Structure 1
Amino acid sequence: MDIHLSAAHWVYLAGIVVILVTMALRKNIVVPAVVATLLTAWVFSGSIVTGLSSIFNASLVAADELFNIFLIIALVTAMLGALREMGADRLMVTPFRRVMRAGTSSFVVLAIVTYVISLFFWPTPAVPLVGAVLIPVAIRAGLSPMSVGMVVAIAGQGMALSSDYIIKVAPGISATAAGVDADGVADKSLVLSLIVGGVALGITYVTQRRTWRTPSPELLVAWENKADKLGAPDDDTAAGDEFGGTRPAPDPAPAPVAGGAPTATMVLDTSSIEVADSPKTLSAKTFAVLVPTAYLVFIVYMLLGKFTTAVPPLKGGDAAGIVGGIAAMLLFAACLTNDKRACLESSSRHIVDGLVFAFKAMGIVLPIAGFFFIGNGDFSARILGMPEDATGPALLFDLINAGLSHVAPNAFVVAFTVLFVGLIAGLEGSGFSGLPLTGSLSGALGSAAGMDPSTLAAIGQMGNIWSGGGTLVAWSSLVAVAGFARVPVLTLARKCFLPVMAGLVLSTLFAIIAF
């Protein structure tokens, strides 16, 4: 297929290169993303007015696409704030302490639970469930917030979503585009996803162990007090000390801070720790049971809808909406219990606090996502101000297709080319949008390279979903994981890069040899 690359294509490609280099240098990429958006729109349209307006439009489109994640983070955070006032958050996690006593056990339980829930219901509803119930337990057990974020992202957004073995939307798209049987793609994707996830979790375990600390309730209090730090610059100095990054901190003593570099917001009041860790009120005990029970009932409802006809199955974004709705109702009930007279005011305050937290933590993602959305034909028309019935340019996919003409028909080269195409297609932050491209490529090149097209389709699916599904790019659903773990999303994406890429390379080699 002969594709003509315009000047806008090359400007967009240059923007991608600059952003990747900036990320490699551990610098913030908002300014390069905004400038690249301006130049791409300007060159494509020939109008500086369109270029300037695209800066606003790109962030607006990104906000429209990602606001559901922001809202879930805000509502669950607001609910946890109300529970924290009565001390129910400490009681709620107490039963899990019997299993999640230390770093290793917490690491394993967190990975297994996240994987199982995400496999059945996709990561969108899984992350809030894990964030509300298990993440605080893991923090108290000594896991660093960055470790928690990496485990949840790898097990849910990566390992479970990349195979999509239960719901089978991803294998269906890949197989249809490749012209092969969906079950064959699904089976191979499951094996490859387990290899990638196993390698990534193993590397994460080895590299993050030095950031873990002795279990203590002070760790949980310190972590909760660090919400305001999410607006800090995205570098390893901030991330390492504030969020359990590269440098280990000493085990927490009874009095001092449990987190590294001393800052004003991290000074702990031991009296508040004692009260928070030993709540005795009936309301705290009631809500400590009510919150997990409510989400457990929701999980049972989803299972019944999926495997029986007793209740109607959930569709589309219903699951995520119900998670947020449950959080809102529990928030109102907790505020009414805490203070009947001021419940209306306190409910509003907690919601505002949740929204502020969500945007402080994740707002940086919007202009970055906007740049990659301008390369997607589904969004570019809106960003460029084109008429509603107009078809926008698919700059990213055009660049990928143009480069495919240089691929040699060799099994090794073709397999890694399909993987690379999947990774690049995932840069726009949508885990499934590149599957038609990698599937079509697999069907076209499989026979010439002497490989089963279903194997190539599974490889491309790995690259696309592990990249755009929420482990390697910060403008994807990784924002939800970072929000609940309370770590900088750009740092989380950077920390996941080496473990995930190592897993992808090894899984591709396995596919070439075994399949």
Structure 2
Amino acid sequence: MLVELTALHWIYVIFIALIIGFMVMRRDTTIVCIAGIFLIAITATGSLAHAVSSIFTSFIYAITELLSTILVISIIVGMSRTLTTTGINDVMISPFRKLIRNPGLAYWTIGILMMAISWFFWPSPAVALLGAVLLPAAIRAGLPALGAAMAMNLFGHGIALSGDFVIQAAPKLTADAAGLPINEVIQASVPLVFIMGIVTTTVAYYFLRKDMKRGRLSAGPSSETVSEENSDTLPPLLSINQKRFFAILVPLLFVADVAAMIVLDLTGGDATALVGGTSILILLLISLANYKSKGLEKTTHFLIEGFQFGFKVFGPVIPIAAFFYLGDAGFTKIVGDFLPQASQGIVNDLGLALASIVPLSKTIGAVTLTAVGAITGLDGSGFSGISLAGSVASLFAVAIGKGAATLTALGQIAAIWVGGGTLVPWALIPAAAICNVDPFELARRNLLPVIIGLIVTTIAAIFLI
């Protein structure tokens, strides 16, 4: 049953437009997001006190949802500081200098490795694994940190996650909603995933090289160059042989993580936790080996640096995440049970409303599924709305008479590329934080390539239906 759109839905749409507009103009969106949360809450409840409280509650909810990501990024940064400070990092990346000789090789090497690892373990642990090893080598080869973040983001959270060929969480959700066998959706998604991926990554690289030639972008510091203000860093004490030992040990421990993920079937949050725990152990070992009697204090020092960096990076993201979480299951936990009875969440209601007002043909069907997927991806999950995309695809396919699997795959790709981590700022935080770049700038960089990719992929889907 289609729920009637209410004032809540229209306020949400208006503030989405305002937030996007402010981002395009490179202005801060914090006040806009807080105003949106307040207006939605007071419209839903009619209580000024409840609306004011909802602002704080929304921040708590956003922090809770993002906490695991904040922690793993903070720990990875703390570990990276120990590698850099002790000189282990220089020894560790030396073999990659021969492979990554220029910015182009750096971009495509990082991207392809990110895609391959993400297919098996999802992007978040893949970002942590690659960031600790390849990022410094890429920057020394002349690739800007923003370019490395784009490669990790587009290949991992874009290509790998939107296809999800190995873990198959995404195609299962869409296939079940569309009433199709999962293998049909996967087969239909293969050409679309690679068309989207090739177009988007190639366009992104073209714009990146263009700005590098014009001097707008240059190789800069990675997250490993966290500020050392007020730092009483002691000179490194490790011998060259000890540095070589740790330079071999660190990658071996991460390879052991990968093996454990395969053997124990660890994915998603469990895989990320394994990488985070390994990073803590590496930090402890190196601090104790390098600083001897001062190792206990230096361990805490590096952890504090990591947490300072993590919360500094996530600070601007929490208000905007808090607003967009209102579009999905977060509404009832932040504001309360004030949505219309038939509502499936503000974002899903908007997607269903769009699907119900368009005429039916394979062209309109493909365009609508892309739009529905993109709209449902705005909550920053990517996965929350793909069941809706599968349901809408099934309805359209019945009316058109064919193309259920292709439409389902198209909606899945659009939802995950937008919400899974290439356009929504808090979803692409892992890559941005590891590379020490502004997540909003990364989102702006991704915007045009992803839009071009979605247009080309939608056109391709029309011919495949």
Shift in Å, 1:128: 0.2
Shift in Å, 1:225: 7.6
Aligned residue for 2:460?
510
Aligned residue for 1:367?
319
Aligned residue for 1:404?
355
Shift in Å, 1:403: 2.6
Corresponding position: 1:204 with 2:204:
yes
1-side partners of 2:434 and 2:380: how far apart?
19
Cα deviation, 1:183-216, whole Å, max 9, x if unaligned, reads 1111222221111111111112211114559xxx
1-side partners of 2:321 and 2:342: how far apart?
20
Q: Of the candidates 396, 399, 405, which is equivalent to residue 454 of structure 1?
A: 405
Shift in Å, 1:404: 2.2
2-side partners of 1:301 and 1:224: how far apart?
27
Corresponding position: 1:66 with 2:66:
yes
8 Å CA contact retained: 1:162, 1:462? yes
8 Å CA contact retained: 2:177, 2:391? yes
Q: For residues 316 and 103 of structure 1, do their structure 2 counterparts lie closer, same or farther at Cα, with a shift above 3 Å needed?
A: closer
2-side partners of 1:366 and 1:118: how far apart?
25
Corresponding position: 1:52 with 2:52:
yes
2-side partners of 1:352 and 1:496: how far apart?
31
Q: For residues 190 and 228 of structure 1, do their structure 2 counterparts lie closer, same or farther at Cα, with a shift above 3 Å needed?
A: farther
Q: Of the candidates 306, 310, 314, which is equivalent to residue 266 of structure 2?
A: 314
8 Å CA contact retained: 1:123, 1:157? yes
Q: Which amino acid aligns with 1:301?
A: A
SS at match of 1:414: helix
Percent identity, aligned pairs only? 35
Query: Where does the alignment leave 5 or more consecutive residues of structure 1 unmatched?
Result: 230-264, 266-271, 306-311
1-side partners of 2:223 and 2:22: how far apart?
31
Q: Of the candidates 477, 481, 486, which is equivalent to residue 436 of structure 2?
A: 486
Q: For residues 450 and 509 of structure 1, do their structure 2 counterparts lie closer, same or farther at Cα, with a shift above 3 Å needed?
A: farther
Q: Of the candidates 249, 256, 264, which is equivalent to residue 290 of structure 1?
A: 249
Shift in Å, 1:393: 7.1
Shift in Å, 1:514: 2.8
Aligned residue for 1:245?
none
Aligned residue for 1:35?
35
Shift in Å, 1:392: 8.9
Aligned residue for 1:281?
240
For residues 426-445 of structure 1, what are the structure 2 equivalents within 5 Å?
426-445=377-396
Shift in Å, 1:384: 1.1
Aligned residue for 1:255?
none
Q: For residues 284 and 212 of structure 1, do their structure 2 counterparts lie closer, same or farther at Cα, with a shift above 3 Å needed?
A: farther
Q: Of the candidates 305, 325, 332, which is equivalent to residue 353 of structure 1?
A: 305
Shift in Å, 1:313: 2.1
Aligned residue for 1:238?
none
1-side partners of 2:342 and 2:69: how far apart?
27
Aligned residue for 1:190?
190
1-side partners of 2:445 and 2:56: how far apart?
30
8 Å CA contact retained: 2:79, 2:302? yes
Aligned residue for 1:239?
none
**Alpha carbon RMSD of aligned pairs, Å?**
2.3
The number of aligned residues is 454
2-side partners of 1:444 and 1:360: how far apart?
45
2-side partners of 1:323 and 1:97: how far apart?
25
Aligned residue for 1:14?
14
8 Å CA contact retained: 1:381, 1:391? no
Shift in Å, 1:450: 3.9
2-side partners of 1:19 and 1:105: how far apart?
35
Q: For residues 168 and 224 of structure 1, do their structure 2 counterparts lie closer, same or farther at Cα, with a shift above 3 Å needed?
A: closer
Q: For residues 175 and 419 of structure 1, do their structure 2 counterparts lie closer, same or farther at Cα, with a shift above 3 Å needed?
A: same
2-side partners of 1:142 and 1:212: how far apart?
10
SS at match of 1:342: helix
Q: Which amino acid aligns with 1:17?
A: A
Shift in Å, 1:139: 0.7
SS at match of 1:340: helix
Shift in Å, 1:5: 2.3
Shift in Å, 1:344: 1.3
Shift in Å, 1:107: 1.5
Q: For residues 446 and 219 of structure 1, do their structure 2 counterparts lie closer, same or farther at Cα, with a shift above 3 Å needed?
A: closer
Q: For residues 419 and 107 of structure 1, do their structure 2 counterparts lie closer, same or farther at Cα, with a shift above 3 Å needed?
A: same
1-side partners of 2:311 and 2:144: how far apart?
22
Cα deviation, 1:72-110, whole Å, max 9, x if unaligned, reads 111111111112221001111111111111111111211
Shift in Å, 1:228: 5.0
Cα deviation, 1:96-142, whole Å, max 9, x if unaligned, reads 11111111111121111001000111102101001111111111110
Corresponding position: 1:472 with 2:423:
yes
Cα deviation, 1:18-72, whole Å, max 9, x if unaligned, reads 1122222222211111110110011101011111111111111111111111111
Q: Of the candidates 307, 332, 335, which is equivalent to residue 381 of structure 1?
A: 332
TM-score (norm 2): 0.93
8 Å CA contact retained: 1:411, 1:450? no
8 Å CA contact retained: 2:178, 2:408? yes
1-side partners of 2:279 and 2:165: how far apart?
29
Aligned residue for 1:237?
none
Shift in Å, 1:155: 0.3
Q: Which amino acid aligns with 1:55?
A: I
For residues 70-219 of structure 1, what are the structure 2 equivalents within 5 Å?
70-212=70-212
Q: Which amino acid aligns with 1:287?
A: F
1-side partners of 2:90 and 2:67: how far apart?
29
Q: For residues 227 and 424 of structure 1, do their structure 2 counterparts lie closer, same or farther at Cα, with a shift above 3 Å needed?
A: farther
2-side partners of 1:510 and 1:386: how far apart?
42
Cα deviation, 1:299-351, whole Å, max 9, x if unaligned, reads 12223x2xxxxxx3225521000000000000000110111211111111111
2-side partners of 1:386 and 1:450: how far apart?
39
Shift in Å, 1:282: 2.4
TM-score (norm 1): 0.84
Corresponding position: 1:340 with 2:299:
no
SS at match of 2:61: helix
Q: Which deviates more from structure 2 when the two are superposed, residues 203-212 or residues 82-91?
A: 203-212
Q: Which amino acid aligns with 1:441?
A: V
2-side partners of 1:145 and 1:461: how far apart?
29
Q: Which deviates more from structure 2 when the two are superposed, residues 397-406 or residues 141-150?
A: 397-406
Shift in Å, 1:452: 1.2
Shift in Å, 1:4: 2.1
Q: Which amino acid aligns with 2:400?
A: A
Q: Which amino acid aligns with 1:451?
A: K
